[in-house]
Amino acid sequence: MKAAVITAFDQPPRYGDFADPEARAPTDMPIDVLAAGLHHVTRGRAAGLHYSSTAELPQVPGIDGVGRGPDGKLRYFVQEPGRTGTMAERTVIERSHSIELPDGCDPVAIAAAMNPAMASWIALRCRAPGFRWRLPFQRGRRVLILGATGSSGRLAVQIARHLGASQVFAVGRNAARLAELPALGATGTILLGDERLGAAACETDVVLDFIWGESAVRCMESMLAQRESHSLPLTWIHVGSMAGEIAPIPGTLLRRADLRILGSGHGAVSGRAILRELPRLAREIARGTFRVDARAVPLNQVERTWSRPDPGNTRIVFTP
């Protein structure tokens, strides 16, 4: 079959031949791939830099996709590390790692949106209530999106409003992209590093943090310093690390305020819980509830497309 093939971690994948994967267990399902998104984690795995990367070469990249199984049904699926990736004409998946999609939905839109949308959907649905609560996200909460101008952040703004947030404050570095977010549901925007952030967003209930690092700590300090009541809980959910993996949080922040810091991702949320959430998220994407900017690119152009700068907020989706 034809596939994107990685032969060296310091080079982009090339379009070429790769052995057809074979089902090896009763729960395996062969899939004809229709669309596979080019996500940040996909690039990280392909470069051998992600914690879930495997050292085996050659390999096919791709962590999720949309395709058809032997029953003819359209499915969104997430691929396990160690299996043939999704940027190929065919792959084999664990059946339980897939969900059926509504008839007539756009495979490219689903492949583009599910991975970046999953970050905020899972964080708000499964982590935002706090350490001991086991209730879904409560309507009326005030949410701040830190790193709102990327693909995941733009979707986070829309998802927070859809799930009932009374306020959604968007923070990011790119002024032009930030200015687009009120049309997507943001009730306020401010540039990252603006000294007015603390006063403007001090009464936030939940922060979805896509940046982490020292920038996140400065935002924490600014917001907590302006908070009228330090006993009011602030749940800070670490989702991404665009500004660094290490955040030097002073102990005084934890002692003087009800600051709850937790992460959201595989491990922090069980695979079963994630799969339970995906059908509802997929239905909303299929309905057009969220604005999704996607560009379909033939898989045979993978090498020239892979290393190009990201085209704004548009997610590249390869189609075999």
- Range of the structural domain that residue 60 is part of: 2-100+290-319
Q: How far apart are the first and last CA of the chain?
A: 10
* Domain membership flag for residue 22: yes
* Domain membership flag for residue 108: no
Question: 297, 318, 308, 284: which is closest to 121 by C-alpha?
Answer: 284
| Domain boundary, last residue among 246, 263, 280 | 263
Give pLDDT, residue 65: 97
Do 229 and 127 have their domain in common? yes
Do 148 and 247 have their domain in common? yes
Residue 45 host element (H or E): helix 40-46
Distances (CA, A) of 126 to 132, 134, 138, 234, 276: 11, 8, 11, 16, 10
Do 122 and 257 have their domain in common? yes
Amino acid letter, 48: G
CB atoms within 10 A of CB 183: 9
The structural domain count of the chain equals 2
In CATH, what number is assigned to the domain containing residue 69? Answer: 3.90.180.10
One digit per residue, the tens of pLDDT, for the chain of length 320 reads 999 999 998 899 999 999 999 998 999 999 999 999 999 888 888 887 666 677 789 999 999 999 999 999 999 999 988 899 999 999 999 999 999 998 889 999 999 999 999 999 999 998 875 444 445 677 889 999 999 998 899 999 999 999 999 999 999 999 999 999 999 999 999 999 999 999 999 899 999 999 999 999 999 999 999 988 888 889 999 998 888 889 999 999 999 999 999 999 878 888 888 888 999 999 999 999 999 889 999 999 999 999 886 666 789 999 99
CB atoms within 10 A of CB 275: 14
* Domain membership flag for residue 283: no
Do 252 and 175 have their domain in common? yes
Q: What is the DSSP-derived secondary structure letter of residue 84? A: -
Do 20 and 63 have their domain in common? yes
CB-CB contact of 299 with 305 (8 Å): no
Helical ranges in 94-250 per DSSP H: 107-122, 151-162, 175-178, 197-200, 213-226
Distance CA 302, CA 220 (A): 40
Give pLDDT, residue 136: 61
Write the DSSP string, 240-287: --TT-S-----HHHHHHS-EEEEE-SBTTB-HHHHHHHHHHHHHHHHH
Distance CA 70, CA 132 (A): 42
Helices (H) and strands (E) in the chain, counts: 9, 15
Do 183 and 235 have their domain in common? yes
Do 213 and 132 have their domain in common? yes
Give pLDDT, residue 267: 82
In CATH, what number is assigned to the domain containing residue 246? Answer: 3.40.50.720
Do 125 and 18 have their domain in common? no
Give pLDDT, residue 135: 52
Residue 146 host element (H or E): strand 142-146
Give pLDDT, residue 310: 67
Give pLDDT, residue 308: 80
Do 164 and 257 have their domain in common? yes
For residue 143, give every residue at least 6 positions away whose Cβ sits within 8 Å of its Cβ, in sequence order, or none. 124, 160, 165, 167, 168, 169, 204, 205, 206, 207, 208
* Domain membership flag for residue 105: no
**Which residue's entry shows tokens 């749940």?**
235
Give pLDDT, residue 129: 58
CB-CB contact of 237 with 265 (8 Å): no
